[in-house]
Amino acid sequence: MTAFTLYNYVLSGNCYKVRLMASLLGVDYKIRAVNFYPGFEHRSEDILALNPAGTLPILMAGDLVLADSAAMLAWLALNHDASGRWYPAADPVLGPQVQHWLAFSGRLTNSAGLARLEAILNWPVDSETVRKAAVKDLRELELMLTDRVLEGRTWLVGDQPTIADIACFPYVALSPDAGLEHDGYPAIRNWLYAVRSLPSFVTMPGIHELHELRETSDA
């Protein structure tokens, strides 16, 4: 029994974050491949009927339709994480902090995410504008993560990984696809490494497995 159907595009960072969260929580789901590029199927009548915004991913679970990846991470955590640690929604401090980073992840989609689409698929956006915005967002994240490191912490919120980390991870990790390398962002590199070290982590093109952590037969 699968928990949901994901309308998916294999190169989308926002689709990937839902696949990643589902894998981390051990949730089974079905994939419906959508020809986002070159087919622009997300703008077809059938898909627009589900999501008038014409964006991917779309999550369907019974009668529930979600069209925002941050909402999907919240849904996954609230329904499939008995520990409650991935989304401490009711905590008066941690809950709102998670909300902050979910909003920040939306900014990343429109900065680093668009810069990547432009670099890979020649997306019709102003390259200079989105790249500047991406650098600004990466610097902001680097500062915040540096503060966290000075406090002896690894994750964006609290002492454990949350949906905030998963929401922000993909477009930061994928920024080298647009030539925005991580060399100047040591705290970001450290945090990316921590996310990639999570048990049941999955990859996508441009985000590689931590090779040294693979199980070997003689381990």
Partner 1 sequence: MSLEYAKNDWYAVADGAVLERGPYKTQLLGTELTVSGPIDNPTVTDANGKRYPLQHRYSHVWTAIGDSPRPLFDIPEGDEPGRVLVPVGVVRVKCSPLRAVENFLDIAHFPFVHTDILGAEPHTEVVPYKAEIRDDLEEVWATQVKFFQPQASKSAGGGIITEYEYRVPAPTAAVLYKTCPPKPEFKDVIAIFVQPRSEEECDVWPWMALYDETSTYPELVQFQQEIFLQDRSILENQRPIKLPLDPKLEIPTRADMTSIAYRRWLKRRGATYGALTADA
Q: How far is the CB of 94 from partner 1 (least distance, A)?
A: 34
If binding is defined by CB under 8 A, does position 41 make contact with partner 1? yes
Residue 57 or 88 having the CB closest to partner 1: 57
Tell me the backbone φ, ψ of residue 61, rounded to 5 degrees. Answer: -140, 100
If binding is defined by CB under 8 A, does position 186 make contact with partner 1? no
Which one of 2, 26, 28, 39 is in contact with partner 1 (CB under 8 A)? 39
If binding is defined by CB under 8 A, does position 35 make contact with partner 1? yes
> Which of the ranges 4-12, 150-158, 164-172, 190-198 carries the binding residues for partner 1, by CB under 8 A?
4-12
If binding is defined by CB under 8 A, does position 217 make contact with partner 1? yes
14 Cβ partners below 8 Å, 6+ apart?
Answer: 55, 56, 57, 69, 109, 113, 170
What percent helix, strand, coil does the chain show, rounded to 5?
55, 10, 40
- Total residues binding partner 1 (CB under 8 A): 26
If binding is defined by CB under 8 A, does position 189 make contact with partner 1? no
Residue 86 or 169 having the CB closest to partner 1: 169
The verdict on whether omega for the bond into residue 38 sits within 30 degrees of 0, i.e. cis, is yes
If binding is defined by CB under 8 A, does position 142 make contact with partner 1? no
Residues 59, 78: Cα–Cα separation, whole Å: 15
Tell me the backbone φ, ψ of residue 174, rounded to 5 degrees. Answer: -90, 0
Q: Cβ distance 120 to 112 under 8 Å? A: no
> Which of the ranges 34-42, 50-58, 104-112, 130-138 carries the binding residues for partner 1, by CB under 8 A?
34-42
Residue numbers 106-135 binding partner 1 by CB under 8 A = 119-122
Residue 3 or 34 having the CB closest to partner 1: 34
Q: Cβ distance 42 to 17 under 8 Å? A: no
Closest C-alpha among 218, 219, 164 to residue 191: 164
Number of H helices, E strands in the chain: 8, 4
Chain length of the chain: 219
For the CA atoms of 111, 116, 119, 120, what is the dihedral angle to 10 degrees? -150
Residue 83 or 214 having the CB closest to partner 1: 214
The tokens of 63 are what? Answer: 């009668």
Residue 11 or 50 having the CB closest to partner 1: 11
Which one of 11, 60, 61, 194 is in contact with partner 1 (CB under 8 A)? 11
Contacts with partner 1, residue ranges (CB under 8 A): 9-11, 33-35, 37-41, 119-122, 176-177, 179, 203-206, 209, 211, 214, 217
